[in-house]
A and B are shown apart, each in its own frame.
Chain A
Amino acid sequence: MIPVATALLDAPPTTQAQRRRSSRTLKSVLLSVPMKILIAVILIIEIYPLFWMLVSSFKTQAEFLGKPFWSFPADPQFVNYVNAFTVGEMGHYILNSAIVVFPSLALIILFGTAAGFALEVMVFKGRGFILMLFLAGILIPGQMILLPLFTIYFQTGLTGSLWPLIITYTATGMPLTVFFMATYFRSIPKEIFEASTLDGASIFRSFWSVGFPMVRNAVFTVALVQFFFLWNDLLIALTFTNSQSLQTIQVGLLNFTGNYGQVSYGPLFAAICVSVFGTLVIYLFLNQRVMKGLTAGSVKG
């Protein structure tokens, strides 16, 4: 898994052969025109939906119903964004999402890293079995655990708060995080921890002051990947938020049109924009890391 992740973004070294290939002039000129068209088409397919969404978020209701889709708004309606936050309560949903996602992330990282450390650095029987146990969780569909959890939260009186989401997210983040962290700790020479132990560090100190800083980079990548999973989750959020005041951004957006009698296109597009550009900004700054992290998570075979 790790070699794949690291090989991912390092461009292959330019060999003599490659240089020769790129200078096959006649053929490459012939190829370049269809290639350029193809790339233009790809760019349109990727960008145009977002462009259209952005432009549409500034239109009036009349422009939606009366003008063709490619027309530009005569007078940009910033009020659509105001409405998305006031009538549409987007701010409320975003706050709920943040309240749920960040504590879950902190717990996932703390528990997951500690468990990865214990499974790789420490010595005891049954380590392999426990690691496999965690891994099995990746295969199981979420639907398999929803109903018992619903019963548990109902009977412990947690229903009606955001705790069910925090608890469930923390648990669903475990398999991938434990597996990731165990793999990273495996790549650290054991002598380092033996040395710190000889110097008199307790095992907790070895973990917190020696191990954790060494996998800091990995921790950040895992946190980033888990952030996208949790922030974009619909199934769990939909199941355990029974009132509007608890809804996260995804559930709120799903029911967005319900706040108005009929579909108000402007605020709807504004809300979609807010949701999309929020994650897009993170991607803008951290794209290489996100790509590495997300794809590394899948090559587990």
Chain B
Amino acid sequence: MKSVLGDRRAILALLGPALLVYSLIILIPIFWSLGYTFFSGSIVSGFTPSGFDNFITFFKDPTAWTAIAFTVKYAVVLTVGQVVIGYAFALMYHFYLKRASAIIRTLVFFPVVLPTVAVALLFQQFFQSAPTTGPINGFLNSLGIASVDWFGHADSAFWVIVAMDIWRSMGFYAVLLYAGIVDIPDDIVESSRLDGASGWKLLRHIILPLSLPVLLSSVIFSINGTLKVFDSVLALTNGGPGSGTTPLTLYMYQTSFTYGDYGYGSTIALMLTILCLLVTIFIFRAQRRDLTKA
């Protein structure tokens, strides 16, 4: 028995392919990429060692700081937006729509599965000002407001990206958080109702604390996803105007493949990875402190 379930050759045969592919294509390249940060150049032009130059460049590079600022701003705004709107939907599903919510849940969820590129092209047309007038500007015009050149300014382009990504993801977070709210035992909610808690009070003191774990995992999941935003920005604004809506991911991509600097590109990728890890740890810690206080 033990010898069959512990047969080394069988383990190797079953686990080997997955581990091999994973190590060769993911693990080794991670360390390889770390090595690149100490070089400049590319596969075409050849590599020259450059010590810590890439890191020094990074911290002095205004474009890099703009990219960090954009990435963080986007991640914070989108995480708050996704989770708050998703939570509002989840509460609505559970407390107002109840059993009738299945069809609305399914409907609000569908944009998640749509290809980002297609949705981005659609939103481009939706917000267009010239040569065609898209529905948004058409609506503004009908109210007597002049068309807005949404993609002409970094600020307005930022909000279009946010609007699109919230449209795409709110149904997903709604279902995720709904699962957490459904898990709250009915008798707890009912007994606090009998004790006189209702509406806002019920939400603040009963529902919210009890759905905190699922809220936390939503926030972590959302932060981790939004810090890596790439598809939607590339397809919607391509980082423009100028570099006004360029996140770290896109800046890394342009540095590496447009300007052919692998070393600096790897440095940006490393900074992004560190940022993701730091934020995740930070949220975990903040959460733990809160729990001990309460």
Contacts and interface: CB of A to CB of B under 8 A. Distances in A.
Interface residues of B, number: 104
Nearest to A117: B14
Contacts of A110: 17
Contact of B115 (A39, A52, A70, A232): A232
Contact of A134 (B22, B122, B266): B22
Given A167-B21, A171-B25, A276-B114, A295 B175 contact: yes
Interface residues of A, number: 114
A193 B132 contact: no
A64 B138 CA distance: 13
Contact of B256 (A142, A147, A228, A249): A147
A149 B187 CA distance: 55
Interface stretch (B2-10, B51-59, B152-160): B2-10
A111 B25 CA distance: 14
A197 to B, nearest CB: 5
Interface in B160-211: 167, 172, 175-176, 178-180, 182-183, 186-187, 189-190, 193
A151 interface: yes
A114 interface: yes
A12 B14 CA distance: 40
Given A46-B110, A118-B11, A124-B8, A144 B30 contact: yes
Given A134-B22, A140-B30, A239 B122 contact: no
B186 to A, nearest CB: 5
Interface in B247-264: 249, 252-253, 256-257, 262
A148 B32 contact: yes
A188 interface: no
Contact of B186 (A12, A69, A291): A12
B220 interface: yes
B122 A53 contact: yes
A61 to B, nearest CB: 10
A139 B280 contact: yes
Contacts of A56: 125
A233 B18 CA distance: 21
Given A46-B111, A143-B272, A232-B231, 11 more contacts: A5-B179, A8-B179, A15-B190, A38-B92, A70-B135, A139-B280, A141-B228, A141-B269, A146-B253, A203-B5, A254-B234
27 contacts: A8-B179, A35-B96, A38-B92, A42-B104, A46-B110, A52-B135, A70-B135, A114-B14, A123-B2, A141-B249, A145-B30, A146-B256, A148-B33, A154-B43, A171-B25, A203-B10, A231-B115, A232-B114, A238-B234, A253-B118, A279-B113, A279-B115, A282-B113, A295-B172, A299-B176, A299-B214, A300-B217
Interface of B: 1-2, 4-8, 10-11, 13-15, 17-19, 21-22, 24-30, 32-33, 36, 43, 92, 94, 96, 98-99, 102, 104-119, 121-123, 125-126, 131-135, 138, 167, 172, 175-176, 178-180, 182-183, 186-187, 189-190, 193, 214, 216-218, 220-221, 224, 227-228, 230-231, 234-235, 249, 252-253, 256-257, 262, 265-266, 268-270, 272-273, 276-277, 280
Interface of A: 3-5, 7-9, 11-15, 17-18, 22, 31, 35, 38-39, 42-43, 45-49, 52-53, 56, 64-65, 68-70, 107, 110-112, 114-115, 117-119, 121-124, 130, 133-134, 137, 139-152, 154-155, 167-168, 170-172, 174-175, 178, 193-194, 197-198, 202-204, 207, 228, 231-232, 234-235, 238-239, 249-250, 253-254, 256, 265, 268-269, 272, 275-276, 279-280, 282-283, 287-288, 290-291, 294-295, 298-301
